[in-house]
Structure 1
Amino acid sequence: MFGGFAPPQISQAELRQREEEAAGTVKMVLAGVVGLYLSPFVVKFFENYV
């Protein structure tokens, strides 16, 4: 029904590279989320004590 070409197969090295890139992206996003969550507390700290 959906006749067409199969997607190209990727090598193990390319798969490992993509997994490492995805893991790095997830870590950066989590670090950004934590930073955004803590930013109001940091601003309030500096407003009160500086």
Structure 2
Amino acid sequence: MHAPDGTDYPNESRFVEIIEPTRIVFDHLAAPIFQTIQALAPVEEGGLLD
């Protein structure tokens, strides 16, 4: 990852699980190490950008 101030940050991720269209799980392997779980659900009408 490259910041606006020119600083470079190590960034490596591994996708652990992808279930279309409801779930994405990935591990961030560079410090700070963490796992992200994203649960997706349809909305009846509109969305965040509407």
TM-score, normalising length: structure 1 = 0.23
Q: Which has the higher helix share?
A: 1
The structure whose RCO (Cα within 8 Å, separation 6+) is larger is 2
In our comparison, the structure showing a higher alpha carbon Rg is 1
Q: TM-score, normalised by structure 2?
A: 0.23
